[in-house]
Structure 1
């Protein structure tokens, strides 16, 4: 079955839309690249030659701005014809200072100079790709369809068919049935090979566009850090709201009621000592409950046992409070970074809370180990399926965002037959 699909894919490839788009990309690339090359080389040469005057610097800045415009065209062409996403490079940011600052920012922009480099180095590649693609395409289809048009030669010339070669002693024409069939077979092979040649050529194009016209590694890292900063700020704000809500609805409300009961008990002690004593006893019970709520709240933020004894003891404490039996296995050669340890504790706590509330499981397990420079956590249960880390507004989605803010990953495996396995991967140390 797989072999049949592979053969069908090879046979369909020459007429697929992808092949036609890639052919169009390669063919259009030559005239565009010729334009880019001519303007870039002329502009840089002119600007360099005028550097002895006051015109050289603005001319070079204009060439850099022009080449950045070429980059917009190329990225749009790759997105449209090759269906490949290429990020935008970092914008050229000029400090306050008007046109002079804008020119200086362009001249110092590494991205702008990469655009100039692309305009120069892509030209020879575009020539090579155009010639190779057009040769394969025209040769393949013309030879494949030769049985339909080989009669053209004897109809309009005095030759019996297409002459393959000729010398003084011998001439060979493609006019016999065997020669026509052989020509068509060779054309079929070339036609079937053409899509793969085009894909190889366009892979190089995608690499060149992504490497020279896309964002640099530094730009990507800055964008990632900006996104992570937003996630961290949102997560911190959500945690503060949760703590405030828990205090307001739990311990604060209970302590307010306790103050009222103690006031009433104080008045009752003079009138009815027994009733006052009962009220004090009830207040004592309320104090214990309020203290337990405060302990639970503090434990949810960062428990003392985590600081004192590490993940093994802290996760065992969390597992002991779960409504189902939980087996905990922690195999760590040392303690990770304090912040990572806190996130790992929070992650397991949230996952076990989900097991208690939603899984209807009979048992669960928690495994923690180190692999290379990564900390891995895995929480599994035998309950209901249906967990989805990509569903917006869910606890798992929020947890995935929290892990992503520190270059972590959350993977959820929840097959239809039941059981859920959630794996979290965190860095052992937080990189700067």
Structure 2
């Protein structure tokens, strides 16, 4: 029990809440009673008891200072004005005390930083798992509907060509079938390479700079790349950075109608080392395009059913999995500037 931090925080809350509650009650009631009393003094002062002043005169009024009595319309007006002012002060003071209570509850009864961090990790982990499952399903569909169908067609064409040759049929027709099968095989190989790049580009083995150069060369729009060839990070972070840039360039081409894009990669906090394991160093990727703008990160609970964690939300989920984040500035009419900040190492 002595080591129960949550219990000690709850005990501290009770002590603070008692003191704060008592002070809030006194301040609030005093201000409210004083403001209402002053604002209505003109009405209830007629029922005050008679009292004789030092000058021997009997008055039905309050004495605020020796020989100074609150009577007459001027004093009634002054008291009414002061009462209304205090009524406003009472409202603001009560609101401030409410904020103080809320701050106390948040600080002493709210989740700790560790608990909040755990909740965020669980959320991002679930999004990454969902995104990975969707990608696997997409790969399965691509293989089933594309590559597998082509290979089945190749097998059928080669089988027909074999039957033609075994029966001594038309050799020219068999040659055409073999040629068609050969072309289909090359197309299937191209599709397989594209799918393999989607899983993990082989160019990443040569570093992020080389991978981004390859990506820029294959992009549908001209890309100006500014990245230091010595920039290295952990393999997981480099993969996230690569896919983030790939998604942003794809969005610029498909949705923004951009004519060109600029990709910049920097390392902050002097983290440019060969191992990429420098303390608090971060990898900062900036992608700019001259498109129509209007891009937005749609919250997870507002995504259309079946869209999963793809697009910008997918970048957010991937980055959050390693304590990174995405900043997006995309006013209507453009340009769009997306900045992805990632730690150099995923082990933090």
Q: Which has the higher contact order (CA 8 A, sep 6+)?
A: 2
Deviation, 1:313, is: 2.2
131, 155, 165: which one pairs with 2:65?
165
Matched, 1:415 2:331: yes
- Where does residue 353 of structure 1 map in the other structure? 250
Which of 389, 392, 395 pairs up with 2:303?
Answer: 392
Residues 290 and 407 of structure 1, relative CA distance in 2, 3 Å threshold: same
1:290 counterpart (188, 204, 210): 188
* 2:23 aligned residue (124, 128, 146): 128
Matched, 1:343 2:343: no
TM-score, normalised relative to structure 2:
0.80
Query: Is the CA contact (8 Å cut-off) linking 1:164 and 1:173 kept in structure 2?
Result: yes
Q: CA deviation at 1:250?
A: 2.0
State how many pairs are aligned: 319
Contact (CA 8 Å) 2:48, 2:61: kept in 1 or not? Answer: no
Instruction: Give the CA deviation at 1:392.
Output: 0.4
| Partner of residue 261, structure 1 | 157
- Give, in whole Å, the separation in 2 of the partners of 1:114 and 1:183: 45
Aligned-residue offset at 1:107: 8.3
Alignment of 1:187-336 (within 5 A): 187-269=83-165, 270-308=168-206, 310-330=207-227, 334-336=231-233
Are the aligned partners of 1:379 and 1:421 in contact in 2 as well (CA < 8 Å)?
Answer: yes
More displaced stretch, 293-302 vs 399-408: 399-408
Query: What residue is the counterpart of 1:381 in the other structure?
Result: 289
Bigger shift: residues 415-424 or 283-292: 415-424
Cα displacement (A) at 1:117: 2.9
Query: Over aligned residue pairs, what C-alpha RMSD do you find?
Result: 2.8
Residues 303-324 of structure 1, C-alpha deviation per residue, up to 9 Å, x if partnerless? 121121x222212222222222
Could you say if the C-alpha distance between residues 302 and 121 of structure 1 is closer, same or farther in structure 2, counting changes exceeding 3 Å?
same
CA change 1:137–1:328 in 2 (3 A) is: farther
Q: Relative to 1, partners in 2 of residues 1:204 and 1:301: Cα closer, same or farther, differing over 3 Å?
A: same
Query: Offset at 1:294?
Result: 1.5
Matched, 1:427 2:325: no
Q: Work out whether residues 161 and 173 of structure 1, in 8 Å CA contact, stay in contact via their aligned partners in 2.
A: yes
What are the equivalent positions in structure 2 for 1:149-160 lying under 5 Å apart? 149-158=41-50, 159-160=59-60
Task: Give the helix-richer structure, 1 or 2.
Answer: 1
Partner of 1:4: none
Does the 8 Å contact 1:151/1:161 carry over to 2? Answer: no
Where does structure 1 lack aligned partners over 5 or more consecutive residues? 1-105
The 1:335–1:184 alpha-carbon spacing in structure 2 relative to 1, beyond 3 Å, is farther
Question: How far apart are the structure 2 equivalents of 1:205 and 1:429?
Answer: 41
Residues 370 and 162 of structure 1: CA distance in aligned 2, closer, same or farther (over 3 Å): farther
Superposition deviation, residue 335 in structure 1: 1.4
Higher deviation after alignment, 420-429 or 235-244? 420-429
Query: In the aligned structure 1, how far is the partner of 2:99 from the partner of 2:43?
Result: 40
Runs of 5+ unmatched residues, structure 2: 51-58, 270-280
Secondary structure of 2:333 counterpart? coil
Q: What secondary structure does 1:369 align onto?
A: strand
